[in-house]
Structure 1
Amino acid sequence: MGINSEQDIEANLQIGPTSLGMVRLFIEAKGVEIPMDFEPEEAEEIAEELCAAAAQARKLAK
């Protein structure tokens, strides 16, 4: 499975701060829960990567 491979899997994504000052991405799918904690600076880097990917996807969609 790669970034361009389509899958018929449903998952929920929750994003929020933890009580320890981390940013948590919490992914939940059928029978699977994945908590991923990041330092705030790491979370900002991820946000920048998401924005860059969204911009590239918009260009490809045109």
Structure 2
Amino acid sequence: MSINTERDLEANLQIGPTDHGMVRLFIDAGEIEIPMDFDPEEAEEIADEIRAAAQAARGVAR
């Protein structure tokens, strides 16, 4: 499976700070819950990657 493989799954994504100074991405896909904690610097790198992907996606013909 690649990033371009479409799946018929639904999930909720929550993002927020933890009480331990980390940034948590929490994915809830029904029976599966995935908490992912990052230090603030890692979270900023991820945010930069998301912004870069959004910019690249704007240039893709639909």
TM-score, normalized by the shorter chain, greater than 0.5? yes
- Between Structure 1 and Structure 2, the one with more helix by share is 1
CA root-mean-square deviation: 1.0
Task: Among all aligned residue pairs of Structure 1 and Structure 2, give the percentage whose two residues are the same amino acid.
Answer: 69
Corresponding residue pairs, total: 62
| Deviating 4+ runs (over 4 angstroms) | none
Tell me which residue corresponds to 1:51. Answer: 51
- Unmatched 5+ residue regions in structure 2? none
TM norm structure 2: 0.96
In the alignment, structure 1 segments of 5+ residues that lack a partner are none
- Matched ranges for 1:1-62 at <5 A: 1-61=1-61
TM-score (norm. length: structure 1): 0.96
